[in-house]
């Protein structure tokens, strides 16, 4: 089985992939971007991909969420919650005040805003935490540092200049496992869906949520995203704490469709 993740080696995505597929005969393949991973799943070049979708501090990773709805072929089959400790990695142990730049992927930079603001340094964006760490390594500079994992530090032989630098002590990232086609594993616990209201009016979201409330279905995630068709129109992503096969889940989908809302199931896991 071929599994894709956001590379290069040393990323949190590689750690998530290693943990989720531990004990499984899976070959892990790094790709330059999250969107590349999803594209390769869609074409069938790899069997599965694991990508980050939500973080405690930064919220949803919107471009990954949007990509899931752009293809009828992508389907979420699993999830993994990873404890994320962000660290500053450098070529040498130097005082923080000697740093001039911090490099990383945008979500990681956003998770460490307080430190960056306090140091008053400039930032540089990369496609992953590990690619930023590798660039720091190759630069040989001691006035730059990368925000990345302790795993990346060990892989590249970098020094941890400062550890646990994220804005809040509890920092988790939710990863989802994506496959091509509707492949449901045994005993799923959640259903992911995207819902487009039949029209924009006052109280439409409340009425939608009431359907789940009436059927005693708990929502563990809700995200609004623009439809990209008209300003002020939104679609809603929902995680429902119920398997797709649950009778209540079937009733909820039926009621929502009867009310004229467009509903598409994105995953069951």
Write the class of the CATH domain 191-268.
Answer: alpha beta
Give 134-159 pLDDT, tens digit per residue: 999 999 999 999 999 998 998 899 99
How far out from the chain centre does Cα 65 lie? 8
pLDDT digits (tens, 9 = 90+) for 94-139: 999 999 999 999 989 999 999 999 999 999 999 889 999 999 999 9
**CATH 3.10.129.10 correct for 87-162:** no
Domains 2-84+171-180 and 87-162 share a fold: yes
CATH no. for 2-84+171-180 = 3.40.190.10
Residue 142 confidence (pLDDT): 96
Per residue in 38-96, pLDDT (tens digit) is 999 999 999 999 999 998 877 888 889 999 988 899 999 999 999 888 999 999 999 99
108: which strand partners?
Answer: none
* Mean per-residue pLDDT, 1-15: 91
Q: What digits encode the pLDDT tens for the residues 12-49?
A: 899 999 999 998 999 999 999 999 999 999 999 999 99
Residues 6+ apart with CB under 8 A from 101: 121, 122, 123, 124, 143, 144, 145
pLDDT of residue 228: 79
Average pLDDT over the chain reads 92
The domain limits of the chain are: 2-84+171-180, 87-162, 191-268
Q: Which residue in the block uniquely carries the two structure tokens 């971007």?
A: 33
């Amino acid at each position: 089985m071929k599994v894709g993740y956001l590379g290069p080696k040393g990323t949190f995505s590689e750690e998530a992939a290693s943990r989720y597929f531990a004990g499984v005969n899976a070959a892990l393949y790094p790709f330059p971007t999250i969107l590349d991973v999803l594209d390769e799943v869609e074409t069938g070049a790899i069997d599965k991909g694991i990508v980050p979708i939500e973080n405690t501090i930064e919220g949803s990773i919107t471009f990954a969420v949007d990509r899931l709805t752009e293809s009828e072929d992508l389907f979420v089959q699993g999830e993994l919650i990873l404890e994320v400790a962000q660290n500053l990695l450098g070529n040498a142990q130097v005082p923080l005040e000697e740093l001039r730049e911090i490099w990383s992927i945008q979500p990681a930079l956003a998770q460490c805003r307080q430190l960056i603001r306090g140091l008053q340094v400039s930032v540089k964006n990369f496609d992953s935490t590990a690619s930023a760490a590798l660039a720091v390594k190759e630069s040989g500079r001691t006035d730059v540092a990368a925000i990345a994992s302790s795993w990346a530090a060990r892989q590249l032989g970098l020094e941890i200049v400062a550890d646990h630098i994220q804005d809040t002590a509890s920092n988790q990232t939710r990863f989802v496992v994506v496959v091509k086609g509707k492949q449901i594993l045994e005993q799923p616990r959640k259903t992911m869906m995207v819902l487009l209201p039949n029209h924009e009016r006052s109280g439409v979201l409340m009425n939608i949520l009431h359907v789940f409330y009436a059927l005693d279905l708990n929502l563990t995630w809700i995200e609004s995203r623009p439809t990209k068709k008209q300003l002020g129109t939104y679609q809603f992503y929902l995680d429902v704490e119920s398997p797709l096969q649950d009778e209540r889940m079937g009733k909820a989908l039926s009621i929502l469709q009867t009310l004229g809302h467009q509903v598409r199931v994105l995953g069951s896991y």
